[in-house]
Amino acid sequence: MAFSILDLIKSQVTAQTANVQIPAESKNTVLNGLTDSIFGSLTQTVAKPGGVDMVKSLLTGKTSAAASPITALAGNLFSNNILKKLNLGSALGGALSGIIPTIMGKLSGILKDQDGDGDVDFADILLTLKGGGKAAATKTGGGLLGGILGKVLGGTR
């Protein structure tokens, strides 16, 4: 699961920071810091009691990214681990922190009922990772991750 979600987070961080003037010497630290903070907020939340349901609500779009405690945690992680160390100034720091809800919002809705059983469950998570609906359940496409999941699910790879 981490590979697909992490790739999506990285692409959204890159897209959302494209128009922000980040000093060249700090750019990689900022981009990696945003990615790590967002991914870290998801993984820390999953480890808490009730956290799986919180993440599921965010990723299915039932919870607004702006109002989610997961988004607030990502902002705190970024502020404490990156912004305080880089000393970029309050305007740039505010602009960078302000894009976290947008990035989290882009993650909203990535989990859907893929197998048509009326709910989002573990099977839907696997189908989402493989990149398809019912037809993907019998195929093993999707590169390395799809191949691994195909083997786990009894595919031919």
Same domain, 30 and 79: yes
Cα 111 to Cα 51, 83, 90, distances in angstroms: 16, 31, 35
6 and 50 part of one domain? yes
Indicate whether 95 and 51 sit together in one domain: yes
Same domain assignment for residues 82 and 148: no
Residues 91 and 43 in one domain: yes
More confident residue, 63 or 138: 63
Dist. CA 155–CA 3, nearest whole Å? 20
Residues 39 and 67 occupy one common structural domain: yes
Nearest-10 Cα torsion for 23, 28, 29, 32:
140
The verdict on 89 and 126 lying in the same domain is no
- Structural domains of the chain, count: 2
pLDDT at 100: 94
**In this model, does residue 139 exceed pLDDT 70?**
no
Considering the domain architecture, whether residues 101 and 127 belong to the same structural domain is answered as no
Q: Is the pLDDT of residue 124 over 70?
A: no
Domain extent for 14: 2-18+25-107
pLDDT of residue 141: 42
pTM: 0.72
46 and 76 in a common domain: yes
116 lies in some domain: no
Answer whether residue 75 is part of any domain.
Answer: yes
User: Quick one: 86 and 58 in the same domain?
Assistant: yes
Q: Which tens digit of pLDDT belongs to each residue from 11-46? A: 889 999 998 899 999 999 999 999 999 989 988 988
9 & 85 share domain: yes
End-to-end Cα separation, the chain, in angstroms = 19
Average pLDDT on 89-101 reads 90
Take residue 64 and report the two structure tokens written for it: 């607004």
pLDDT, average across residues 3-11: 75
User: Pseudo-torsion of CA 60, 65, 69, 71, nearest 10°?
Assistant: 110
Could you tell me if residue 112 is inside a domain?
A: no
Give the three-class secondary structure for 142: coil
CB burial readout 101-116, b (16+ within 10 A) else e: bebbbbbbeebeebbe
On whether both 66 and 131 belong to a single domain, the answer is no
CA distance 98 to 111: 24
- The answer to whether the beta carbons of residues 110 and 74 sit under 8 Å apart is no
Is residue 157 included in any domain, yes or no?
no
